[in-house]
Structure 1
Amino acid sequence: MNPLDVLRRLGEILQIDGQTLARNGAGVVGIWVLAWLAYRVVRIAARRIELAVDDGDDSVLTLRERRGQTISQLLRSVGRVAIGVVALLLTFNVFIDIGPILAGAGILGLAVSFGAQSLVKDVISGFFILFENQFAIGDVIEAGGRSGAVERMTLRIVVLRDLEGIMHVIPNSEIKVVSNMTRGWSRAVVDVSVTYNEDVDRALAVVRDEAAQFSSDHSWSAQLDGPVEVPGIESLGDSAVIIRSLIRTQPGSQWNAGREFRRRIKNRLDREGIEIPFPQRRVQVRVEGAPAPDAVISAAGAAGG
């Protein structure tokens, strides 16, 4: 059976003549070709946004780059849905009058909206999150009781990936408070413990000297946002003196910088012979009915003398 016979048979079923069916079929094909071209334009525009904000440095993801990736991803998702809906309506309009359908859909949508209030709240919350630029793709945040890197954002959900590789999907309406750990600048707090037997001033001088060397290291200076600060002694612990260092970094670099500085401090303290203590506890045991300490000492002296 050739295509013409198929069209003729289909026209008889729909009570449409073959020429009208062929014309409508060509119209449908044209609609979806235009929809495909429109989506290609959307993808090209999204790609151009990503290229426009790319500074060529893959080691650090800047705020401008994260914002551009967020906008491009949102443009793809919204554009795909909008183009698909419009193409589908135009396809229906080729065969039937969709005016009454749209009117009925409006009434139905109003009824559905009362039963889908959470969905409406998700979309409204997502709009304000994007409008206020609270966070972007690539940011590390804590929201909705979960923390991780933002992998995807839409008007309805936010997708996070934590350190264990677990993906968390959070509806936007569930996000009440956002803690953004990679916005503007970040900071690593490094505490170093030394024993009470060590000279505290000498230990402080060693830590500050190592901090100055780390700040001037060209392989790390691009990730730092200023020299490393060593305010001094943070606290006197049960078995150690705590010396605190503050490392201000570019967004997202605080973890790598903190790990590297801890490695350098450990090696430097080993070279300087400064001991990093381990927790110690002194236990005193009192036995009921045992002789007093003075009596024990006197007895030991008499035995030796």
Structure 2
Amino acid sequence: MAESGQGGEGGGIDWAAFAEWWAAWGAPIGVLLTIIGAFIAYAIVKAVIGRVVHEVVTGVKRKADAADTEALSNSPLAQVRVVQRTRAIGSVLNTLAAWLIGAFALILILSILGVNPASLVAMAGFLGAAAGIGAQGVIKDFLNGLFMVFEDQLGIGDTVDLGEASGVVESVGIRVTQVRDVNGTLWYVRNGEIVRVGNESQGWARVVIDQAVPYESDIDAVTQRLLDVAVDMSEHPDWLGRIIDKPAVWGIESVSAEAVVIRLVVKTRASAKYDAARELRRRVKAGLDDLGVTLPSLQKIVVQGIEDGVA
């Protein structure tokens, strides 16, 4: 039986040979298995997060009876925000999971390679000190990114102004938020550098048109025509769901020797602001043409007010 235990004629396992083989190859195999396990764990976590995000988004679409996310623009704001915020949180959780799994795998690999626990603790203390000195920016990015998402400051698909970059949010990560501007440029903005967020996709928006007309024009007639044009547009079936309040003429914004500037405002859904502004300008132009009003040169117009230059 002793011979069997040593791998003799009995065909038993040669434990001594196995131990020798494991001593030579055990560490590399353990490292390889740890790396594979980390990738598998991340794939599983990512799939679970993706599934949860998909179920939430699908449930919102089903509840709103919408075929796609874009169609939710005509649904209550809360439903749109749930979709955008859920996707942003999913993006952040994926990144966080990758960091945590990677750190855990690194600790296992170091243990397999024979690094004792005391050394791991010392290394953790060293890394903590390094983080406190040299990685403050990363920590700031991390915390600011979490707060932005969980406070619903922005979400994937939102149109935002982050100061240095403005456009549509394409991705929200732990460290970087990706924003694509109107020219198609993709901006990578560090979360820690974002000190203000202007979100054009939350709540409602306002189309503001400062219309200049010649000084000699009948201001009452022009004002009434502008209001009529805006009201007709708001009552059109194509705009009933996107204009959410009655249009208004706020009055004369500025007066010069060449022109009088009249401010027309229309309250819309956030997602419809720019489309509504373009259509309203087209209708205003047609309405003024009907009155026979010839517009003055824009180079001579000076707009004065707290929202100077907004049109």
Could you say which TM-score interval applies, normalised by the shorter chain? 0.7 to 0.9
Contact 1:182 1:251 in 2 (8 A): yes
Question: Residue 284 of structure 2 is aligned with which of 248, 255, 265?
Answer: 265
Matched, 1:58 2:70: yes
Quickly say closer, same or farther: Cα 1:72–1:238, change in 2 above 3 A.
Answer: farther
Residue type matched to 1:80 in 2? Answer: A
* Structure 1 stretch displaced more, 28-37 or 108-117: 28-37
Matched, 1:83 2:101: yes
Matched, 1:70 2:82: no
Distance 1:10 1:253 in 2: 71
Distance 1:240 1:17 in 2: 87
Distance 1:17 1:44 in 2: 39
Quickly say closer, same or farther: Cα 1:241–1:186, change in 2 above 3 A.
Answer: same
Q: CA deviation at 1:34?
A: 4.8
Question: Residue 199 of structure 2 is aligned with which of 180, 183, 192?
Answer: 180
Matched, 1:130 2:144: no
Matched, 1:99 2:117: yes
Q: How large is the Cα RMSD of the aligned pairs?
A: 3.3
Which portions of structure 1, spanning 4 or more consecutive aligned residues, are displaced by more than 6 angstroms?
Answer: 20-28
Residue type matched to 1:51 in 2? Answer: T
Quickly say closer, same or farther: Cα 1:11–1:34, change in 2 above 3 A.
Answer: farther
Distance 2:291 2:210 in 1: 18
Tell me, what secondary structure is at the counterpart of 2:263? strand
Residue type matched to 2:209 in 1? Answer: V
Residue type matched to 2:244 in 1? Answer: D
What are the equivalent positions in structure 2 for 1:1-305 lying under 5 Å apart?
15-16=23-24, 33-54=40-61, 55=64, 56=66, 58-59=70-71, 60=73, 62-90=80-108, 96=114, 99-100=117-118, 102-113=120-131, 114-278=133-297
Distance 1:201 1:103 in 2: 79
Structure 1 residue ranges without an equivalent (≥5): 1-8, 282-305
Quickly say closer, same or farther: Cα 1:27–1:76, change in 2 above 3 A.
Answer: closer
Distance 2:162 2:181 in 1: 12
Tell me, what secondary structure is at the counterpart of 1:219? coil
Residue type matched to 1:15 in 2? Answer: A
Q: CA deviation at 1:232?
A: 2.4
Distance 1:279 1:97 in 2: 74
* Structure 1 stretch displaced more, 184-193 or 223-232: 223-232
Contact 2:213 2:296 in 1 (8 A): yes
Residue 292 of structure 1: aligned partner: none
Distance 1:44 1:81 in 2: 20
* Structure 1 stretch displaced more, 209-218 or 99-108: 99-108
Q: CA deviation at 1:100?
A: 4.1
Residue type matched to 1:78 in 2? Answer: L
Distance 2:50 2:18 in 1: 36
Residue type matched to 2:51 in 1? Answer: I
Q: Give the TM-score, by structure 2 length.
A: 0.74
Quickly say closer, same or farther: Cα 1:128–1:31, change in 2 above 3 A.
Answer: closer
How many percent of aligned residue pairs carry the same amino acid?
Answer: 29
Q: CA deviation at 1:248?
A: 1.1
Tell me, what secondary structure is at the counterpart of 1:138? coil
Residue type matched to 1:86 in 2? Answer: F
Tell me, what secondary structure is at the counterpart of 2:195? coil
Q: Give the TM-score, by structure 1 length.
A: 0.75
Quickly say closer, same or farther: Cα 1:124–1:23, change in 2 above 3 A.
Answer: closer
Distance 1:268 1:229 in 2: 16
Q: CA deviation at 1:180?
A: 2.4
Instruction: Tell me how many residue pairs correspond in the alignment.
Output: 272
Quickly say closer, same or farther: Cα 1:34–1:85, change in 2 above 3 A.
Answer: same
1:235-270 per-residue CA deviation (whole Å, 9 max, x = no partner) reads: 223412212111111113211111110001111221
Quickly say closer, same or farther: Cα 1:139–1:197, change in 2 above 3 A.
Answer: same
Contact 2:140 2:192 in 1 (8 A): yes
1:206-246 per-residue CA deviation (whole Å, 9 max, x = no partner) reads: 11111110111111122222122222222223412212111
Contact 1:198 1:275 in 2 (8 A): no
